[in-house]
């Protein structure tokens, strides 16, 4: 069994999709055990409802100590894989290096397009619509020092429709995120088990 931590800052719909997949036995040897949030949010409540350990590391209160506090929680809970699911704080290089190949993120665009600093939430979808793209989607990738720049593990595409707004596009992509993320995590758990024994 491999222990999964989910890091979130928002509504937690991806967290919910991962927990649902776990309940249905679709995550192979991966078990969600911990949710860390950097602000009070719905994701924490959803995690608590499912019996996960929940930790609030309020960025407004602990500021620059957040990375260290996060590192402590991940070690204490003997975490094997970390999934960022709408986590909005920057993860510093010390942590990304320690978790190389075991920390993943989901981003609501077809990376490498529309990623990087400032590209989060509706900013992503607005940029896609402004550019007149006819496709967008979501990407699961390894977390590295470079924002949204790590190796891509999987993508799903959606068509951009003529009357799409940032909200309608975001909602359609979110449905794909909920399908893609648990699947990639399940595959990663098998790969990591095979590699590390």
Q: By CB under 6 A, name the binding residues for ligand GRF.
A: 8, 10-15, 43, 85-86, 106-108, 138, 174, 177
Q: Which of 93, 86, 94, 97 is nearest to 35 (CA)?
A: 86
Nearer to ligand GRF, 102 or 107 (CB): 107
Cα 125 from Cα 23, distance rounded (Å): 31
Nearest-approach distance from CB 29 to ligand GRF, in angstroms: 23
- Which is closer to ligand GRF, CB of 3 or CB of 42? 42
192, with CB counted inside 10 A (0-12, 13-18, 19+), is middle
Give me the least distance between CB of 196 and ligand GRF, in Å please.
27
CB of 139 to ligand GRF, least distance (A): 9
Q: Say how many residues make up the chain.
A: 197
178 classed as catalytic: no
> In this structure, what are the phi and psi dihedrals at residue 41, rounded to the nearest 5 degrees?
-160, 165
Cα 70 from Cα 57, distance rounded (Å):
8
What tokens appear for 133 in the block? 């793209």
DSSP 3-state of 197: coil
Go through 84-116 and write b for each residue having 16 or more CB atoms within 10 A of its CB, e for each that does not: bbbbbbebeeebbeebebbbbbbbbbbbebbbe
Choose, from 107, 125, 141, 178, the residue flagged as catalytic: 107
CB 122 within 8 A of CB 149: no
Active-site amino acid positions: 107
């Amino acid at each position: 069994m491999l222990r999964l931590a989910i890091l979130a800052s928002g509504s937690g719909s991806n967290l919910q999709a991962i927990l649902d997949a776990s309940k249905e036995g679709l995550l192979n040897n991966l078990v969600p055990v911990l949710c860390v949030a950097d602000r009070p949010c719905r994701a924490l409540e959803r995690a608590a409802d499912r019996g996960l350990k929940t930790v609030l590391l309020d960025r407004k209160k602990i500021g620059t100590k957040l990375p260290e506090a996060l590192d402590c929680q991940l070690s204490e809970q003997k975490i094997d894989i970390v999934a960022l699911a709408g986590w909005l704080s920057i993860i510093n290089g010390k942590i990304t290096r320690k978790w190389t190949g075991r920390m993943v993120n989901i981003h609501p665009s077809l990376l490498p397009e529309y990623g990087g600093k400032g590209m989060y939430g509706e900013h992503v979808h607005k940029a896609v619509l402004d550019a007149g793209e006819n496709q967008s989607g979501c990407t699961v990738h390894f977390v590295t020092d470079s924002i949204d720049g790590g190796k891509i593990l999987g993508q799903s595409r959606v068509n951009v429709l003529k009357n799409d707004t940032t909200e309608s596009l975001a909602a359609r992509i979110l449905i794909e995120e909920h399908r893609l993320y648990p699947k990639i995590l399940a595959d990663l758990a098998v790969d990591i088990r095979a590699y590390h024994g």
